[in-house]
């Protein structure tokens, strides 16, 4: 037996065709309201969520870039402040060392002057002592040589006069 095909059968009656078209259109309207509407809404909601997520990610990325730039600037400022503190500390240390050196030099100069003054005083005292000793010795020698005793004051004046003549020469 042969199965009838569309080409083999007669044309479809007009009433059946209208019924199929009306049923198809009714099915399309029902599908639109029942399936396509909610599906479209769900797809639109998902597209909106994806767009919002992309916008949020873009904003978060921009915020992160701004925060990174701010941290970089703060780091650079911190380095500048640290170098300023180091420079100030170096300058302060240099100033203090110069002040200490100046104080040490001043003290050394003062000690040197005091030592020179002490040496001059000791020299003067030694000369005075030597003059006295020479005078006493000279009086003793002179008195033994001439066997005449001059007063000690007279002999000292003669010797002082003689030594004064020697100092002037």
Kindly give, in sequence order, each residue whose CB lies less than 8 Å from that of residue 168, ignoring residues fewer than 6 positions away.
Answer: none
CA-closest candidate to residue 135, choices 120, 150, 122: 150
Cα 169–chain centre separation:
71
- 15-30 confidence digits (pLDDT tens): 889 999 999 999 999 9
Q: Which residues of 47-68 are buried (b: 16+ CB within 10 A; e: fewer)?
A: eeeeeeeeeeeeeeeeeeeeee
Is the per-residue pLDDT at 169 higher than 70?
no
Distance, C-alpha 6 to centroid of its chain? 96
Provide the pLDDT confidence category of residue 31 given band limits of 50, 70 and 90: confident
Q: Which residue has the tokens 């001439």?
A: 146
**pLDDT over 90 at 8, yes or no:** no
Quote the DSSP letter at residue 11: P
Q: Is the pLDDT assigned to residue 48 strictly greater than 80?
A: yes
- Give the span between the Cα atoms of 148 and 142, in whole angstroms: 8
Three-class SS state of 12: coil
Report the predicted TM-score, pTM, of the whole model to 2 decimal places.
Answer: 0.41
Here the tokens at position 127 are 């000369």
pLDDT digits (tens, 9 = 90+) for 117-161: 988 888 888 878 877 777 776 766 666 556 555 677 777 777 777
Q: Per-residue pLDDT for 1 more than 60?
A: no
How far from 78 is each of 26, 64, 92, CA to CA, in Å? 75, 20, 21
For 135, other C-beta atoms within 10 Å of its C-beta total 19
pLDDT tens sequence across 79-121: 999 999 999 999 999 999 999 999 989 999 999 999 889 888 8
Spatial distance between the Cα atoms of 41 and 51, rounded to a whole number of angstroms: 15
């Amino acid at each position: 037996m042969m199965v009838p095909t569309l080409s083999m059968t007669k044309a479809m009656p007009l009433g059946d065709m209208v019924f199929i078209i009306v049923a198809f259109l009714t099915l399309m309207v029902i599908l639109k309201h029942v399936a396509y509407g909610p599906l479209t809404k769900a797809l639109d909601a998902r597209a909106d969520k994806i767009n919002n997520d992309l916008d949020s990610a873009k904003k978060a990325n921009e915020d992160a870039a701004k925060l990174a730039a701010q941290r970089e600037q703060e780091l650079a400022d911190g380095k500048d402040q640290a170098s300023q503190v180091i420079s100030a500390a170096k300058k302060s240390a240099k100033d203090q060392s110069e002040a200490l050196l100046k104080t040490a030099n001043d003290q050394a100069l003062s000690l040197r002057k005091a030592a020179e003054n002490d040496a001059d005083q000791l020299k003067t005292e030694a000369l005075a002592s030597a003059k006295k000793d020479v005078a006493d010795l000279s009086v003793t020698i002179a008195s033994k040589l001439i066997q005449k005793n001059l007063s000690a004051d007279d002999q000292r004046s003669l010797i002082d006069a003689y030594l004064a003549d020697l100092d002037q020469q």
